[in-house]
Structure 1
Amino acid sequence: MSFYSWKAERVKRYGVVVALAFFCALFLWIGQWSQLPVFSNEGSPRALTQGSDKNPNVALTFNISWGTEKVHDVLKQLEANKAQATFFVSGEWAERHPDIIKTIHEGKHEIGMMGYKYESYLEQKPAQVQQDLNNAKEAFGKLGFEEIKWIRPPHGHMDKEVLKIIENEGLQAVQWSINPRDWENPGTNTIIDTVLNEGSEGDIILMHASDSVKQTAKALEVILPGLKQKGLKFVSITELVSGTESETTQIE
């Protein structure tokens, strides 16, 4: 074999190796991104409302904006039933109660934010919303939570402009598919019936752990084992949407 033929054969062999390496890397890259949810629709940001109904998962979510007593009752119920949840808390509250944030995190629960001051974003100018998000990120960053990606805007209030600001900050808005309105304290049985009758695969359940709720912890004594009996598994928001097709809501 001549030198040039040998060299051509060697180049060809290395070319095949490089090509195979490229396609393997591309496959892994696609696989990685397939595990991440996408919630924009033709450039319009959306709010997550529900996970896939193809998996037996539900996401319990608890809002906290004030108070320190009821959250411990909720955490005890979650621990007793080995249930994971996502807690949405305001930055201002998190700053005042870093010990409780630590307890929530140590319980293997996910932390999401509700802005900083817990004031409706629809009543603020875009620059004020932006500043509130910056303040919230700074507050959570100081507590060791620099990578928070989920936000439930204060009071659940949002429009397209607010969602765009949220998206630009690298955050994803989360709403819910089941709302027993536990903050109104409608009765323990009413809360239980709403969640157990409506709860199914992929649901995001909105509940609260602020001191305004008087019946939530008691309702959880029945709700948690009840949902398990329906064959449902409690997961974080991140796990609920990972690698699945999730439902979103277009906000006007």
Structure 2
Amino acid sequence: MNYFFIVNGKKMKQYLIIILTAFVTAWFLYIQNLPFSVFSTDDGPKAFYKGKNGVALTFNIGWGDSKAESILDILKEKNVKSATFFLSGSWVENHPHIAKKIVDQGYDIGLLGYEYLDYEEEENEKIRRDILKAEEIFKKLEIKHKKILRAPNGHFDERFITIADQLGYTVVHWSVDSQDWKLPGVEKILKNVSDVKKGDIILLHASDSATQTAVALPKIIEMFNHKKIPLTTITEMLIEGKANTKEIK
């Protein structure tokens, strides 16, 4: 006896999408928990987003002058010795005194480009010029920075990684997004960072638009102290050892 099965094409497509989504989600969760993780091109430069030990507080600053200094004051008051700031060249050009204060307090500084560009949408040469212009500003104003670089809005591809590497920079992403830039409320920011693990890099902001970060920051620091999670810098993470990689397509 022969049997004929009629397959609903629309339902089959829905099932395939569900299965594919579940697989991608599982894979993302897996790579998030690798001990020392980066995105990379096939055999080339890498974009770092997770280390082995400690937790890195990182702050992006692209505009404004009313929030950055309060963030620095809180870090000093809480005796935080390790933090990393990614600064745009245009911001440093307008606020060199705050940038120098970051250096004076002993924190690492990385580049956030010059303008707030979406590097996925720009031509290679414009990306290169934007990075070099930021570097020129830092040099001109004698602001010491590490050879680390972050895409302003977090969007990047293998072109950006390759260009950064050619200029001597390591691209740094993050593994935990506090989402403070969405102004979700202090309790939500705390919840977003409450499950951090060793090696995580936390994204925070010290631009004027992130009005809730300074309120949440003391509680974040207290949370880590209570959990006995040491704070570290990106450069300290980078020297910890060999990295696992994930191909960027």
With normalisation by structure 2, the TM-score equals: 0.80
Name which one, 1 or 2, has greater alpha-carbon Rg.
1
Stretch moving more, 72-81 or 237-246: 237-246
Kindly report which structure 2 residues correspond to 1:160-239, keeping only aligned pairs within 5 A, or say none.
Answer: 160-196=158-194, 198-239=195-236
1:131 and 2:125 correspond? no
Q: How far does the alpha carbon of each residue in 1:48-96 deviate from its partner, in whole angstroms, 9 at most, with x for none?
A: 11001xx3x1110000000001111211211111112100010111111
Match of 1:67 in 2: 64
Q: Which amino acid aligns with 1:210?
A: S
Identical pairs, percent: 40
Check the 8 A contact 1:45/1:250 in 2, yes or no.
Answer: no
Aligned match of 2:97 in 96, 99, 110? Answer: 99
Q: How far does the alpha carbon of each residue in 1:189-248 deviate from its partner, in whole angstroms, 9 at most, with x for none?
A: 01012212x212111000000000111111112110111111111111101222334455
Check the 8 A contact 2:62/2:87 in 1, yes or no.
Answer: yes
Distance in 2, matches of 1:93 and 1:241, equals 26
Stretch moving more, 157-166 or 238-247: 238-247
Q: Which amino acid aligns with 2:45?
A: P
Kindly report which structure 2 residues correspond to 1:140-151, keeping only aligned pairs within 5 A, or say none.
Answer: 140-145=138-143, 148-151=146-149
Distance in 2, matches of 1:151 and 1:145, equals 15
Check the 8 A contact 2:56/2:199 in 1, yes or no.
Answer: yes
Check the 8 A contact 1:179/1:205 in 2, yes or no.
Answer: yes
Distance in 1, matches of 2:102 and 2:60, equals 13
The structure with the greater share of residues assigned to helix is: 1
Match of 2:19 in 1: none
- Look up the SS of the partner of 1:60 in the other structure: strand
- Give the CA RMSD over aligned residues: 1.9
Q: Which amino acid aligns with 1:113?
A: L
Check the 8 A contact 1:61/1:86 in 2, yes or no.
Answer: yes
The number of residue pairs the alignment matches comes to 212
Check the 8 A contact 1:199/1:227 in 2, yes or no.
Answer: no
Match of 1:49 in 2: 49
With normalisation by structure 1, the TM-score equals: 0.79
